[in-house]
A = this chain, B = another copy of it.
Amino acid sequence: MSLTIAQASARTGLSIDTLRYYERDGLLLRPVARSATGHRRYDEADLEWVRLVTCLRATGMPVREVRRYADLVRAGDGTEQDRLDLLHEHREQVIAQLEQVTAHLSAIERKIGLYTEKLHGAETERAGGLDLERAPAGSLAP
């Protein structure tokens, strides 16, 4: 059971161009097999690897780093510790990034809270005046 590039594209969610680009750029373990007429044929192992690549890419790993990982896998036995190190480091970065985004997200949610209050709480509470982000009065025309 092997798939055409169009089918592989549908199954992985990557565009046909991206699949070819990943292959050219060495992100795949080996060139994809070809039919008699030179068309690519993806097998389940190819798709599985592409899914892993997608996983790494979607968590922010740069293409060149994915290639490094693929290089290690291609090199075979003896590189397992290096692969593990690479994945570990990436994991740390992803976690740090998640924390950062989460923190920024709550700042945004605070802002949303202020706006919501201003807009929908305006009928009941109309004193004080929330500034939000209006520029300080008179800063340009003193």
Residues of A within 8 A of B (CB): 29-30, 33, 43, 45, 48-49, 52, 55-56, 58-60, 73, 76, 80-81, 83-84, 87-88, 90-91, 94-95, 97-98, 100-102, 104-105, 107-109, 111-112, 115-116, 118-119, 132-136, 139-140
CA distance in complex: A95, B112 (Å): 14
- Tell me, rounded to whole Å, the shortest Cβ–Cβ distance linking A112 to chain B: 5
- Tell me, rounded to whole Å, the shortest Cβ–Cβ distance linking A142 to chain B: 11
The copy count of this chain in the complex is: 2
- Tell me, rounded to whole Å, the shortest Cβ–Cβ distance linking A28 to chain B: 10
Assuming A104-B58, A108-B94, is B115 touching A80 (CB within 8 A)? Answer: yes
Are B91 and A59 within 8 A (Cβ)? no
| A-B residue pairs, 8 tightest by C-beta | A84-B115, A55-B104, A59-B104, A87-B112, A58-B104, A55-B107, A73-B133, A94-B105
Are A108 and B73 within 8 A (Cβ)? no
Specify which chain B residues have a CB less than 8 angstroms from the CB of A132 in the assembled complex. 73
